Structure 1
Amino acid sequence: MRIGVVADTHLRARHSTLPKALVHVLTGVDLIVHAGDWMDPSIVRLFESIAPVEAVAGNNDGEELAARFGYRKVLELAGFRIGLVHGDGGRSTPDTAYAAFCSSDSAHDSIDAIIFGHSHIPYEEVRHGVLLFNPGSPTDKRRQSLYSFGTLELGDTIQARHYYYEDKS
């Protein structure tokens, strides 16, 4: 199973397209997972035109997105349990995301991976056997030099990959 991983799009309703580099890689994925901060419910349709979407709302999303997606969930995909959360609310975004699903530094509560966003910083770490993955942002790079997003390949293991690009048109 191939999953597109996105977070922190921060797009308003006036946007009618997604970046070409993002669409190119996401075309053909089985599922798109979005870790919040859509900013506008209309943006969901842009992603749904590519593939089915699973998501959570972020701290910049309104009531409609929060009611539709919630703020935290566990996806069961291809035999893996994947936690999905935006990651806001703590000093360290990876630590906040990890704590949302794992009760201690040695127990991972049957979670294989955690997808999160919030920081706009691409991130990948395996902590106590749990993959922590932040795709960065495909449209709001902030202090990062490049826009980014990711994919997960679910097979015998989980393989994560970041994609980077300069032009968000």
Structure 2
Amino acid sequence: MRLGIVSDTHMFGRAKQLPRELVEGLQGVDMILHAGDWIDAAVVSLFEQIAPTDGVAGNNDGTDIIQRFGRQKIVSLPGCRIGLIHGDGGRKTTLDRAIDAFREEEVDVIIFGHSHVPYQGTHRGVLVLNPGSPTDKRRQPRYSYALLEWEPSETPIQATLHYYDSKS
């Protein structure tokens, strides 16, 4: 399977359309997962034009997005269980909050957002991934998203962060 991983699109305030490099990079994915801060529910249909899309709400999302997606979930796919959360709130770092949210769950991957800082690492054998933001890089040098790939009957799960310079 091949998944596109995005977060913190902050549309349509930070961008009026999905960046060309993002759209091209997501072609052919089996599914897109969004880790929150969509801002406008209309963004969902932009991603759904590329591939089936699921996600969670972030701290800047309205009740329509919260009701549709919830604030955290586990996405079960053949060969992979993915914990998905935005990562805002409370003390600790965004990374620690994301890990703590799934501490009692059996997941292969934890995906989070909120910080706009791309991250890829492991914690107790679990792949932990923040795709950064494809439209609001904040203090990061480049915009980013991630791809997650695996064969259902094989391990390991591979994550790749992708970077680009222009959000047009």
- By the TM > 0.5 criterion, same fold? yes
Question: Where does 1:77-156 land on structure 2 (aligned, <5 Å)?
Answer: 77-89=77-89, 90-103=91-104, 109-155=105-151, 156=154
1:16 CA drift (Å): 5.4
AA aligned opposite 2:101: A
- Structure 2, unpaired ranges of 5+: none
How many residue pairs get aligned? The number is: 164
Q: Which moved more, 1:22-31 or 1:72-81?
A: 72-81
1: distance between equivalents of 2:63 and 2:149? 32
- Structure 1, unpaired ranges of 5+: 104-108
1:72 CA drift (Å): 0.5
TM-score (norm 1): 0.93
Q: Which moved more, 1:63-72 or 1:109-118?
A: 109-118
Partner secondary structure for residue 43 of structure 1: helix
Distance 1:51 1:91, change over 3 A: same
Contact 1:6 1:150 in 2 (8 A): yes
2: distance between equivalents of 1:13 and 1:69? 21
Residue 106 of structure 1 is matched in structure 2 by none
AA aligned opposite 2:130: N
Q: Which moved more, 1:69-78 or 1:8-17?
A: 8-17
Query: Percent identity at matched positions?
Result: 55
Structure 1 position 12 matched with structure 2 position 8: no
Contact 1:78 1:154 in 2 (8 A): no
- String of CA shifts for 1:47-69, please: whole Å, max 9, x gaps: 00000001000000000000000
Runs of 4 or more above 3 Å deviation: 13-16
Residue 2 of structure 2 is matched in structure 1 by 2
2: distance between equivalents of 1:15 and 1:112? 32
Query: What do you get for the CA RMSD once the two structures are aligned?
Result: 1.4
2: distance between equivalents of 1:101 and 1:164? 27
1: distance between equivalents of 2:70 and 2:55? 8
TM-score (norm 2): 0.94
AA aligned opposite 1:36: G
2: distance between equivalents of 1:80 and 1:28? 19
1:15 CA drift (Å): 5.8
